[in-house]
Amino acid sequence: MNKILILFAHPRFEKSKTNRALLKNIKQVAGVTLYDLYEEYPDFNIDIEREKELLLAHEIIIWHHPLYMYSAPALLKQWMDLVLEHGWAHGSHGNNLKDKIIFNTLTIGGTKEAYAPNGHNRFTIREFLIPFEQTANLCKMIYLPPFAVHGTHLLTEKDLNEYARLYQTLLEKLAQGNFDIRITRKYSYLNDWLAKETGATL
Amino acid sequence: MSATFLHDALIYLAAAVIFVPIAKRLGMGSVLGYLIGGIIIGPFFLGFIGEEGKDIMHFAEFGVVMMLFLIGLELDPSAFWRMRKLIFGTGIMQMGATTLLCFAVLFLIGFTWQAALACGLALSMSSTAIVMQTLREKGLVKTQSGRSSFAVLLFQDIAVIPILALLPLLAVSGAHTSSAGHSSFMEGLPGWAQTLVLLAAANAVVLAGRFLFVPFLRFIARIRLRELFTAAALLIVIATADLMTIVGLSPALGTFLAGVVLANSEFRHELESDIEPFKGVLLGLFFIAVGASINFKLIIANPLTVAILVSSLMAIKAMVLFTTGKFSRLSFDQNMIFTLGLSQVGEFAFVLFAFISQLKILSAHWTDMMMGATAISMTVTPLLLLANERLILPRFGTKESAEEKEADAIDARHKVIIAGFGHFGSTIGRFLRANGVNAVILDNDSDRVDVLRKTGFKVYYGDATRLDILKCAGADEAKILVAAIDSPEINLALVDTIKKEFPHLTVMMRAKNRMDAYELIDAGVDNIYRESLDTSVRLGVDALIALGFRKYSATRAGQNFIKYDETALKKLAVHRHDQEAYIFNTREQIEIQEQLLTSDREANPTLSDHAWDSELFVEKSSRNEPKE
């Protein structure tokens, strides 16, 4: 049984249909802590000690956020800067996060096709996520591919419900330990791994 | 210390401690509690105190003396100058007209013109003690009615000096010399000489205040013994009062003058805080004595005369006051408070009647009658104000609730009630409204209520601690109650009511300061907002910035400090009860400051952003740690 910490960062959650849909089912998943960063720290004044305790109490961490300017909203970056301290999260004595699993859950306005060498955005999502991947690596954590919802403006109610169910399935599998790290890491998105596992098409 | 003194003190204090809380609980205010307590323990009911009540009254009049000293202190000449039109306009009108009407009536029923005039002057006085105490308790001091009341009372207080000086002139010549019982050295002097002596004495106080008291206080202050300063403050008040008594002037006026003279000195606030507790206790004693001194025998013997006397007196006074209020353009509500509040005959009337009787201007029988009427009118005033608040204003004045056309829609939208809409509450209300949240507002200043209603706020008028008003404002369905009333006592009373009657409401409270916040924590309030925290820290942050700190670092230091201080508040609030030795407010404050400063040092509330602090990183790297 893995405990999952969702570090959710969205400065305008009340306007985000996609994220509301993704998060509405997750309370039903045992072992999941949903932690709303913009709700906890409206003044950006992060309580570092408290964050460290939360990290220690969970085995799987999810950076759940919309993709803003090819990166995370400012508060999540603030969180990374402040909480992942040298000597605690990294450095020769910083082994507190060692072997914990971490990945991004992303909501992205552009379609998957736009994130390609010859697409509008010229780079892939995985390339944009390199700072996250390497941060995880620096902290001796295991970085999994992202779970992503692309083309959020184009989604219908039905699509949203599908994504919500898929995210719930993902969390359940992770919580139950029903996955093989080596296999998931072969895919560029966790969506693709799930598609293979469950036959979902998103 | 004689046994009788202790015995008397026991009875008086017990009466205060028993009756005042009952009166407060019934919503009647402390003054009425003291008065009723006095009546009950007085010679005509329980008889715990007999005729000696009169002696106590003389002693307790010292409370009035101290009150006037404090009023004088609060009244520095510039404030006086700003209010001069109000003071002299309303003051002259009220006193002039009341005196004239009383004079006319009394003269017509057969008084000599001297007696009628003397009585008229005495009866035109209202009770500063009752009115100011009541206004303060109801939080009405800063309203229009409060200001007008203060102006009239002040004028009366000042007018007592010339009146006392004039009374000897009214004495039937020669009559007063026969009273051998009194020892004032002025007894033997002719009227004009007495007048001169009185004016000279008043001048002496002013001069002494300027050239004697201030240097004296400076000398005492340099010794740095707090209790010595208190003693010195009392000494000044008592010495002034004594001087005045020797020359036969009212001690109250002497100390009032001394207060005004000292208002501009650097000792104003210290004097205020030193004298205040003495004044409070003695004033309570005074009210008890007034209650105890009501001569029920006389009333029972002449019930009709007394009833007519009291009611016609108060009617005349009220009439004049209402007209005066109209002239100073008070709205109906404010005018009713002003009119009924001042409609009694005040404590100075006791002084004046005593003097009048001593000068043999008025017969002993009538003096007793007049004094009885005075005491009764003082007792009736708090009741009249209560009736006004509960019965008259809701019907004829500003309505407690505005008529609402969209009644059902409102309940759904008004989830917030703001009690108190002064500077603090109005900022909250405006902020909420800017964000589309319309709060229901409770306020007890009718003028403010009128303005707010005109600008579209939904406002209930009245005392926020009253259950019916809270219900009316929708406390049953609301989610949040913001208690933003200026007076911490009223805020606390409000919390009690809310906790008992509307436990579902989230209470968000304004607190004046740390001490106030502790009381609220004890009362079980979770959301406390200290006036002296955020603003002070913001200033501190700006000060750091002005000293060259980076803005973001200073801002974060401020955020951390607030967070740290709120944690410390909760921690020390519990700790506070460990130490039972707290007696003096100031002493407690100092100890708390000390605790704070110590724990500030232990848990440094300053920044610790290791990740941003490259010095730390460099230090570690230089200790040959592998580079990442």
**Least confidently predicted of B179-183, B249-253, B578-582, B602-606:** B179-183
Q: What is the pLDDT of residue B501?
A: 87
Q: Dihedral (C-alpha) B229, B230, B233, B239: value to the nearest 10 degrees?
A: -110
Reported confidence tier of residue B321, pLDDT bands at 50, 70, 90:
very high
As a whole number of angstroms, the distance between CA B418 and CA A78 comes to 36
Contact at CB, A45 and B559, closer than 8 angstroms:
yes
User: Which residue out of A14, A40, A41, A43 would a mutagenesis test of the B interface target, given it has the greatest number of B Cβ atoms within 10 Å?
Assistant: A43
Reading the block at residue B254, the tokens are 């002497």
**A-chain residues within 8 Å CB-CB of B627?**
none
Q: What is the CA radius of gyration of chain B?
A: 29
**B-chain residues within 8 Å CB-CB of A90?**
628
Reported confidence tier of residue B272, pLDDT bands at 50, 70, 90:
confident
Backbone angle region of B362, left / alpha / beta, with phi > 0 → left and psi within -120 to 50 → alpha: beta
Instruction: Tell me if B363 sits within 8 A of B434, measured CB to CB.
Output: no
Task: Kindly state the average pLDDT of the residues B14-32.
Answer: 79
CATH value of B58-175+199-362 in 1.10.3720.10, 3.30.450.20, 1.20.1530.20, 3.30.420.340: 1.20.1530.20
Reading the block at residue B476, the tokens are 């049953």
Q: What is the pLDDT of residue B406?
A: 37
pLDDT of B488 over the 90 cut: no
As a whole number of angstroms, the distance between CA B258 and CA B422 comes to 33
Question: 3-state DSSP: chain B helix, strand, coil percent, rounded to 5?
Answer: 70, 5, 25
User: Residue B530: beta bridge partners?
Assistant: B511
Question: How close A42 gets to chain B, by Cα (Å)?
Answer: 11
Nearest to B560 among A45, A81, A84 (CB): A45
The separation between CA B405 and the C-alpha centre of its own chain, rounded to angstroms, equals 39
User: Which residue out of B559, B604, B617, B628 would a mutagenesis test of the A interface target, given it has the greatest number of A Cβ atoms within 10 Å?
Assistant: B628
Instruction: Tell me if B440 sits within 8 A of B464, measured CB to CB.
Output: no
Reading the block at residue A68, the tokens are 């803003």
Q: Which residue has the higher pLDDT, B365 or B505?
A: B505
Task: Kindly state the average pLDDT of the residues B252-265.
Answer: 80
Hey, is B508 helix, strand or coil? strand
Reported confidence tier of residue B626, pLDDT bands at 50, 70, 90:
very low
Helices and strands in chain A, H and E counts = 9, 6
As a whole number of angstroms, the distance between CA B392 and CA B389 comes to 6
As a whole number of angstroms, the distance between CA A102 and CA A96 comes to 14
Task: Kindly state the average pLDDT of the residues B67-72.
Answer: 79
Contact at CB, A85 and B610, closer than 8 angstroms:
yes
Q: Which residue has the higher pLDDT, B278 or B49?
A: B278
The contact set of A with B (CB < 8 A) is: 43, 45, 48, 81-87, 90-92, 138
Q: What is the pLDDT of residue B56?
A: 66
The pairing of beta strand B458-461 with beta strand B416-419: unpaired
Q: What is the pLDDT of residue B1?
A: 47
Element (H, E) at A6: strand A4-8
Closest CA to B153 of B131, B186, B179, B181: B131
pLDDT tens, B408-452?
Answer: 333 445 789 999 988 899 999 989 988 888 888 888 887 888 788
Instruction: Tell me if B478 sits within 8 A of B416, measured CB to CB.
Output: yes
The ranges assigned to domains in chain A are 4-198
The CATH class, in words, for A4-198 is alpha beta
Residue A100 identity (one-letter amino acid): K
Instruction: Tell me if B256 sits within 8 A of B269, measured CB to CB.
Output: no
pLDDT of B542 over the 50 cut: yes
Hey, is B510 helix, strand or coil? strand
Touching check for B329 and chain A: CB below 8 Å? no
Q: Dihedral (C-alpha) B83, B88, B91, B97: value to the nearest 10 degrees?
A: -150
Neighbour tally for A80: CB within 10 Å: 18
As a whole number of angstroms, the distance between CA B447 and CA B461 comes to 10
Supply angle C-alpha B120, B121, B126, rounded to 5.
100
The ranges assigned to domains in chain B are 1-50, 58-175+199-362, 410-532
Size of interface A-B (CB pairs under 8 A): 29
Contact at CB, A87 and B620, closer than 8 angstroms:
yes
The separation between CA B346 and the C-alpha centre of its own chain, rounded to angstroms, equals 16
Contact at CB, B560 and A85, closer than 8 angstroms:
no
DSSP 8-class letter at A84 = S
DSSP 8-class letter at B608 = -
Residue B394 identity (one-letter amino acid): P
| Closest chain B residue to A138, measured at CA | B628
Task: Kindly state the average pLDDT of the residues B493-514.
Answer: 89
Mean pLDDT of chain B: 79
DSSP string, B206-220: HHHIIIIIHHHHHHH
Parts of chain A with a pLDDT under 70: 201-202
Q: What is the CA radius of gyration of chain A?
A: 16
Task: Kindly state the average pLDDT of the residues B482-487.
Answer: 91
Q: What is the pLDDT of residue B627?
A: 42
Instruction: Tell me if B361 sits within 8 A of B354, measured CB to CB.
Output: no
SS (H, E, C) B411-470: HHHCCEEEECCCHHHHHHHHHHHHCCCCCEEEECCHHHHHHHHHCCCEEEECCCCCHHHH
| Closest chain A residue to B616, measured at CA | A86
**CB-count burial class (<10 Å; 0-12, 13-18, 19+) for B50:** exposed
The CATH class, in words, for B410-532 is alpha beta
As a whole number of angstroms, the distance between CA B459 and CA B455 comes to 10
pLDDT of B625 over the 70 cut: no
**A-chain residues within 8 Å CB-CB of B611?**
81-86
User: Which residue out of B610, B612, B619 would a mutagenesis test of the A interface target, given it has the greatest number of A Cβ atoms within 10 Å?
Assistant: B610
Instruction: Tell me if A6 sits within 8 A of A32, measured CB to CB.
Output: yes
Reading the block at residue B92, the tokens are 């002259």
* Strand ranges for B487-609 from DSSP E: 506-511, 527-530
Backbone angle region of B509, left / alpha / beta, with phi > 0 → left and psi within -120 to 50 → alpha: beta
Element (H, E) at A4: strand A4-8
Task: Read off φ and ψ for residue B530, nearest 5 degrees.
Answer: -85, 130
